[in-house]
Chains A and B, each alone.
Chain A
Amino acid sequence: GAGVSQSPSNKVTEKGKDVELRCDPISGHTALYWYRQRLGQGLEFLIYFQGNSAPDKSGLPSDRFSAERTGESVSTLTIQRTQQEDSAVYLCASSRQGASYEQYFGPGTRLTVT
């Protein structure tokens, strides 16, 4: 079946602009996660959605970051007033309910803020 897809694959934006990143999880996966990977670093948790429950936003680095998910489908991660330190690969993952130990990742969106 289809895996996790993300768009765009690459995004170059000017400092101060807003960007929106999209994630399509695996069908039937109720859990969805966003991570950030800066150059030479590990994956950094940003936000978690589980079904219709309130999301766990504990990893969002600032109030410029927000994310939405409609039901158990597509999610968008929005970064407002982008800064150069926001440059990273943004990865989305999904998993079955109760199986957060087995997450399936998309290919990521490489964001470059100039």
Chain B
Amino acid sequence: DQQVKQNSPSLSVQEGRISILNCDYTNSMFDYFLWYKKYPAEGPTFLISISSIKDKNEDGRFTVFLNKSAKHLSLHIVPSQPGDSAVYFCAARGWSGAGSYQLTFGKGTKLSVIP
């Protein structure tokens, strides 16, 4: 079963507008949530994280919101720029039960920012 879901495979946004990427999860034991950005032929790049005890974390143009009761998080990018065009992965950290923390990833959302 998919513990981290990104239900929108793609999103198109006009340059300068807000991009909102969504992510839902099922495991209430996740303690950290992260967003990674991936360009073609490159590995994912860490973007921003949020602890499960917080509801908002901001870093420049990027803000992550966490709604624990709804098991939902979102990434807001304001203003969106053409260079933000990439695949965005939502990830959640949980205890593996085999002695380590593991990240569980969603399938990604491809963001296209139109100039």
Q: Count contacts between A and B, CB distance < 8 Å.
A: 68
CB of B49 within 8 A of CB of A101, answer yes
- Judged by a CB distance under 8 angstroms, whether B59 is at the interface is no
Task: Check if B34 sits within 8 Å of A107, measured CB to CB.
Answer: no
Residues of the B chain whose Cβ atoms lie less than 8 Å from the Cβ of A48: 96, 100, 102
Residues of A within 8 A of B103 (CB): 33, 43, 45, 100-101, 103
Which of chain B's residues have a CB closer than 8 A to the CB of A40?
107
Interface flag for B42 (CB, 8 Å)? yes
Contact A105 B45 (CB under 8 A): yes
Chain A residues lying within 8 Å of B99, measured Cβ to Cβ, are 53-54, 56
**Is the beta-carbon distance between B93 and A42 smaller than 8 angstroms?**
no
Least distance between A94 CB and chain B CB atoms (Å): 11
Binding site for A on B (CB under 8 A): 4, 32, 34, 36, 41-46, 49, 89, 91, 93, 96-108
15 A-B pairs within 8 Å (CB atoms) are namely A4-B43, A41-B107, A42-B4, A42-B106, A43-B91, A43-B105, A56-B96, A56-B99, A58-B96, A93-B43, A101-B32, A101-B103, A102-B34, A102-B46, A107-B42
